[in-house]
Amino acid sequence: MPKTIPVANELTKPFWDAINEKRLVLQHCDDCGKLQYPIRPKCWQCGSEHLGWREVEGKGHILETMVVHDTRVVRRKGDVPFNVSVVSLDEDPTINFLANLPGTPAHEAPQGAAVEILYEEMEPGTFIHDWRIVS
Ligand SMILES: [Zn+2]
């Protein structure tokens, strides 16, 4: 599946370094204790800039799911139709990820299904994360 390899910047580098080690780390606010994703320079809850990183278990559930039949992303045109699901993290259900659910045919992603993170090697040593249904 021709997905894009992300380019890490200073802010997101710890996240992508961990993904390359097959670990999921999220920002953690030292002031209010909230986990945060997507990665931002400040805490979205309390505005604090005192953010660290915390490893979390890559387990979640499908909150919502849809199927993409047409895409403007040229490199994904050969993949349609494909799933785009919103995954909520079990450790903090307010944290959401988008998932393509590799291995699950389009239209067969059940809402509420348990998922776990997976790491796809895009080129040697470079991984991206996705989620798969736990059977
Ligand atoms: Zn905070």
Q: Has residue 49 been placed in a domain?
A: yes
Residue 78 has pLDDT above 90, yes or no: no
Residue 23 has pLDDT above 60, yes or no: yes
Q: Residue 2 — very low, low, confident or very high, per pLDDT cuts 50/70/90?
A: low
CA 60 to chain centre: 10
The answer to whether residues 49 and 70 touch, using CB atoms and an 8 Å cutoff, is: no
Q: How confident is the model at residue 130, as a pLDDT? A: 96
Buried-exposed string 83-116: b where 16+ CB fall within 10 A, e elsewhere? bbbbbbbbeeeebbbebbbeebebeebeeebebe
For residue 34, the CA-to-ligand 1 centroid distance in Å is 6
Q: Has residue 125 been placed in a domain?
A: yes
Separation CA 83–CA 64 (nearest Å): 10
Q: Which domain holds residue 44?
A: 13-133
- The pLDDT tens digits for 45-58 are 999 999 999 999 99
Separation CA 105–CA 67 (nearest Å): 10
Q: Has residue 6 been placed in a domain?
A: no
Q: Has residue 3 been placed in a domain?
A: no
For range 101-105, the mean pLDDT? 94
Q: CA dist 10 to 15, 86, 89, 106, Å?
A: 10, 26, 25, 35
For residue 33, the CA-to-ligand 1 centroid distance in Å is 6
Q: How confident is the model at residue 39, as a pLDDT? A: 95
For residue 99, the CA-to-ligand 1 centroid distance in Å is 26
Residue 71 has pLDDT above 90, yes or no: no
Q: Has residue 5 been placed in a domain?
A: no
For residue 37, the CA-to-ligand 1 centroid distance in Å is 12
Q: Has residue 73 been placed in a domain?
A: yes
Output the pTM of the full model: 0.90
For residue 16, the CA-to-ligand 1 centroid distance in Å is 22
Q: Has residue 8 been placed in a domain?
A: no
Residue 74 main-chain phi, psi, to 5 deg: -55, -45
Residue 1 has pLDDT above 70, yes or no: no
For residue 2, the CA-to-ligand 1 centroid distance in Å is 36
The number of folded domains in the chain is 1
